[in-house]
Amino acid sequence: MLPLALPLRGGATPNPSHPAPKDLDWSTFGFSLNNLKTPYMYLDQLSGSSSHATFDGSGGGSGSLKSGWHNKNNPPKARTLITKHKPLSLEPSSTILNYGQGLFEGIKAFRRPSNEIVIFRPQKNAERCRRGCARILIPPIPDATFVEACKEVVRYNAEYVPPTGKGALYLRPIVFGSAPKLGVAPSDEYTFCVWCSPVGNYFKTDSNATQTTLLSSVSPITLLVSRSYTRSCVGGVGGVKAVGNYAPVFKCQSETKAQGFNEALFVDAKEGQWIEEAGASNFFIYIPHPNKPGGTLVTPPLNNGTILAGVTRDSILTLARAELPDVTVEERPINLSELSSASEAFCCGTGASITPVGDIRVPSVTEEGEETKFIFYNGDRKAGEVTEKLYKMLHDIMWGEDKRLEKKYADWITVVPPLPK
């Protein structure tokens, strides 16, 4: 059994503001653990084999509730569980260790210039987590419980939210089967944990970059199309953040970097011609109209269940459709041959944000064939015009830099109140 966490303290008058960031050299932080541990995490357990059981933030779970959180007369409780950051104890026979029954999410909290701390679209992660739980038979975490857990972890670790433009506090909610079991079957006990770590930028940037110059300091990355490995297939779990989706990519990733590329670009498992994802990120191209202003922004569709429904991906699609009148947005298959028509390409995700792609190498299907190289941008630019516009709008919303956008997309931002005294 994992140790139960402590209940949230409360009852005092809230502080007017969060504490200032810790005195750390934030410019040295990358997208890693950065040799430190934040002091607090969220921890909850659920016992009970009912298929309708659900986490409710009570610490003991609600396995006895036959209708779970769907019962309007029995809504999820608001109390959250915060404990000191510590190792978790697991039986060697737990279903997460033996059968990989688990999934995770990735979310960021930002510090605005006013010292306000916000989380970007945690509701979307909650929805995606719930869908993922259904796919691998984990009792669903109510959206409200998921979001409150994230807020409390940020509140208790507020000193570790970097200054504006210097990074973010990365939240890692993870839910997994924690009961011992020998047979190949779902667990009878589940653990939901949210831990966090302050991070810098996913790809290297100028250490003096600010929120307004950050993208221009990012060197466009290089991608190598993978011919030997595929990330997912139709009918699999590529569309959810299952823990088992990531280790199989390590070998491909290692070989790709050994050849001098930043990431692998994965194509479909059947024909090997249709683009799916870039590393652990969603992928976009921009194709300009040949004889008039504007163009088409394209990303692969989600309908096959092989591509993760990224929160940043959804945000980009929404912003492009609403804020870029000269840009047509399409979610459709992208053939490798279509890269020759694109003037811009970028990857996106919670970790990578929006990262421009400089060139893509496509190896031949046969040993006798020649590889193809697609180059984006003209050497004198760091990113294309559409990429820059989308990046700026996205981060203006996160950091509260554009009041019109902030008001229009207010439901994308969850404000984290300071801890009580």
Enumerate the active-site residues.
Answer: 241
Q: Are the CB atoms for 384 and 344 separated by under 8 Å?
A: yes
How far, in Å, CA of 193 to CA of 39, rounded? 14
CA distance 152 to 420: 12
Cβ–Cβ < 8 Å for 314, 246: no
Got the DSSP string for 140-202? PPPHHHHHHHHHHHHHHTGGGSPPTTS-EEEEEEEEEE-SB--SSS--SEEEEEEEEEEE-BS
Residue with tokens 């890269």: 339
Please give the Cα distance from 189 to 63 (Å, whole number).
9
3-state secondary structure of 36: coil
Strand partners for 299: 331
Provide DSSP, 252-268.
Answer: HHHHHHHTT-SEEEEE-
Question: What separation in angstroms does the CA of 307 have from each of 225, 233, 239, 285?
Answer: 16, 9, 5, 16
Give me the amino acid identity at 335.
N
**What is residue 359's three-state secondary structure?**
strand
